């Protein structure tokens, strides 16, 4: 009886832990974007841009990608962009494109406005499940804010 109970408890534990995907995230990208622009400090005034333009900028040409993007005025490199892909694998592809975008921004700003290079060097480019978040800012608590918002 004891052995049976123990086995049953272990089996239940296995089932429970298997069902729990710690990395699983499910958010509304627009609400997340609105939330983050309120909490993260930006030097520039960020403005939301069209989803399709955001995808063009990041050269994302596959389907079923949602985007919420806030871009600075052009005087700075500041931005906050959130992509939601169809799957984790697609998000991984977006992550690669996002890193490429940041590198290109560094090349552009090197001659255009070198003051921005520090922000771009510290840019947040992360993947959480099927989401990719890019943030360029001077705010040092940006990573903590983003992680807290995704819990």
Partner 1 sequence: MNNYTLKNRNQKTKIIFYVLFTIIIVMLSVLFLKKNLKSDAKPVPSKEASSIKTTSPLTTKQETSKSQTTSSSNNYKKMLTVPKSDEVDNSYFDDAIFIGDSRTEGLMLYTGLNNATFYTHKGLMVNTAFTSPAINLNGKKVSVMDAVKNNKKFSKAYIMLGINELGWASPNLYIEKYSLIVDTIKATNPNAKIYVQSLIPVTKSKSSSSKVFNNENINKFNNYLYDMCKEKQVYYLNISEALAEKNGCIPEESAYDGIHLKKPYCEKWLEYIKTHTVQN
Which residues sit at the interface with partner 1, rule CB under 8 A?
44-45, 47, 49-50, 52-53, 56, 59, 71-75, 108-109, 111-113
Least distance between partner 1 and beta carbon 74 (Å) = 4
Q: Which C-beta is closer to partner 1: that of 44 or that of 127?
A: 44
Instruction: DSSP letter for 49, please.
Output: E
The DSSP code sequence of 47-61 is EEE-HHHHHHHTT--
CB of 45 to partner 1, least distance (A): 5
46 vs 127, which CB is nearer to partner 1?
A: 46
CA 124 to chain centre: 8
In the complex with partner 1, which residue's Cβ is closer, 72 or 130? Answer: 72
Q: Cβ 16 to partner 1, closest distance in Å?
A: 47
Among 142, 52, 60, 130, smallest CA distance to 100 is for 60
Minimum CB–partner distance for residue 8 and partner 1 (Å): 58
Q: Which residues pair with 136 in a beta bridge?
A: 79
Nearer to partner 1 among residue 87 and residue 96 (C-beta):
96
Q: How far apart are CA 144 and CA 141, in angstroms?
A: 5
Report d(CA 37, CA 149) in Å as an integer: 12
Tell me the C-alpha distance between 3 and 102, whole Å: 58
Residue (15 or 75) nearer to partner 1, CB: 75
C-beta of 98: minimal distance to partner 1 in Å? 15
């Amino acid at each position: 009886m004891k052995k049976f109970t123990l086995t049953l408890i272990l089996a239940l534990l296995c089932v429970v832990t298997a069902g729990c995907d710690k990395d699983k995230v499910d958010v509304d990208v627009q609400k997340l974007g609105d939330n983050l622009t309120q909490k993260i400090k930006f030097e520039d005034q960020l403005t939301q841009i069209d989803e399709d333009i955001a995808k063009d900028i990041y050269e994302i040409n596959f389907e079923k990608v949602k985007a919420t993007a806030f871009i600075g005025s052009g005087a700075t490199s500041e931005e906050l962009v959130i992509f939601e892909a169809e799957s984790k694998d697609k998000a991984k592809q977006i992550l690669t494109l996002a890193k490429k975008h940041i590198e290109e921004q560094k090349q552009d700003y090197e001659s255009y406005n070198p003051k921005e290079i520090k922000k771009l060097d510290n840019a947040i480019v992360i993947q959480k499940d099927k989401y990719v978040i890019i943030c360029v800012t001077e705010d040092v608590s940006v990573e903590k804010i983003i992680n807290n918002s995704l819990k």
